[in-house]
Amino acid sequence: MKIAVVIVNYNGKEFLEGCVTSVLEQSLKPSDILVIDAASKDSSKELLKKINKDVKVKFLTSNIGFAGAANIGIRETEGEYVLLLNSDTCLAAEFIFKIRAAAAKLDASYGMLSGKLLRMQDRKIVDSAGQFVRRSLRPLERNYGEPDKLYPAGQCFSACGAVMLLKREMLENVKYRDEYFDEDLFMYYEDFDLGLRANALGWKCYYEPEAVAVHYRGGSGVRQKSKSFLFRKKSLELKRHLLANRYLVLTKSIPAFLVLKNLPHLLAYEIIFWIYLLIFDIRVVAGMKKYFRLRRAMKEKGKLIRAAIAERELEKWFI
């Protein structure tokens, strides 16, 4: 079983070398290591030009977003599995060995695997113990910002996009035209969108706690129980992508009956969030232009997915 590693980098020089080194030092070596640099404006390019000869590097001429860069990496590597990493992550030395061993014992319906992701700033705090779904129809990283609860290995909804092992057969099955991740999303919600498509088509995700990695979530070492803190710290452009992508994914993949069934939870979140935006961050609202520009195309993309999700008991993954 060959595993190719794809690292997506944009202005991540502070963490990039540590990420690459952690891959090179794996006890089980990957078949390929490819770094996709999405036209970084920091000195990532200079660092990558001096990187280990075993690491392939592709420099993009523009920032096409995480989704587009990840798609290039998937297309330009080989192997039955792709381990997709953000450049602000580091793998424990046994990560690939442990997650490969987990994949080897699973049946053919498992197309994604998640390891245990800890917070780089405080490795006693969990960043993700597998991805689940909130009743407000948003992705939820299990145990986010909390001490490790030692969840056992087993099935989960999806994997956090910062570190996810993807079966190539699954990727080919769920892609839309030539896109594995939806490039209209650019950045944010692309892992949730992939999880929804995979779930709709009968693919499963497995959580393996023995495969450990760390992720630098946001820009603070303080314990963060809520992602609202991180939202406030993001650039205006990224906040706008987050806002639009939330509704684009709902439009694309969530059937109407699930929206209606969970309407109280949905409205509770939306009211609070929009009060915050209108009072403290009104400029973010302009991000809805992206939603209105793409909503029809998204609805068409997700036609078959919405119908399939209606039959897949998505609610079993609600937390």
- Between residues 197 and 218, the one the model is more confident about: 197
> What average pLDDT does the segment 26-30 reach?
98
pLDDT at 121 over 60: yes
pLDDT at 224: 46
CATH 3.90.550.60 positions along the chain are 3-215
Query: What's the start-to-end Cα distance of the chain, in Å?
Result: 34
> What average pLDDT does the segment 206-223 reach?
78
Cα gap 125→78, rounded to integer Å:
34
- Region of poorest pLDDT, from 58-67, 82-91, 178-187, 307-316: 307-316
Q: How confident is the model at residue 222 (pLDDT cuts 50, 70, 90)?
A: very low
Nearest to 181 by CA among 194, 168, 200: 194
pLDDT at 76 over 50: yes
Q: How confident is the model at residue 230 (pLDDT cuts 50, 70, 90)?
A: confident
pLDDT at 313: 85
pLDDT at 312: 84
CA 130 to each of CA 259, 292, 303, 315: distance values in angstroms, whole numbers, following the listed order: 23, 31, 27, 16
Q: Please name the amino acid found at residue 238.
A: L
3-state secondary structure of 128: strand
CA 218 to each of CA 92, 187, 227, 234: distance values in angstroms, whole numbers, following the listed order: 20, 15, 9, 8
Residue keyed to tokens 């006693």: 124
pLDDT at 233 over 70: yes
Answer yes or no: pTM beyond 0.85. Answer: yes
Q: How far, in whole angstroms, is CA 115 from its chain's centroid? A: 13
pLDDT digits (tens, 9 = 90+) for 6-25: 999 999 999 999 999 999 99
**CB of 157 within 8 A of CB of 143?**
no
**CB of 38 within 8 A of CB of 10?**
yes
Residue 263, CB-side half-sphere exposure with 13 Å CA sphere: 4
% of the chain exceeding 70 in pLDDT: 96
> What average pLDDT does the segment 30-43 reach?
97
pLDDT at 219 over 50: no
Asked if the 3-215 domain carries CATH number 3.40.640.10, the reply is no
> What average pLDDT does the segment 250-274 reach?
96
pLDDT at 300 over 90: yes
pLDDT at 261: 95
Tell me which H or E stretch contains 141: strand 139-141
Token pair of 49 as six digits: 């030009």
CA 298 to each of CA 59, 66, 134, 201, 259: distance values in angstroms, whole numbers, following the listed order: 29, 18, 22, 18, 17
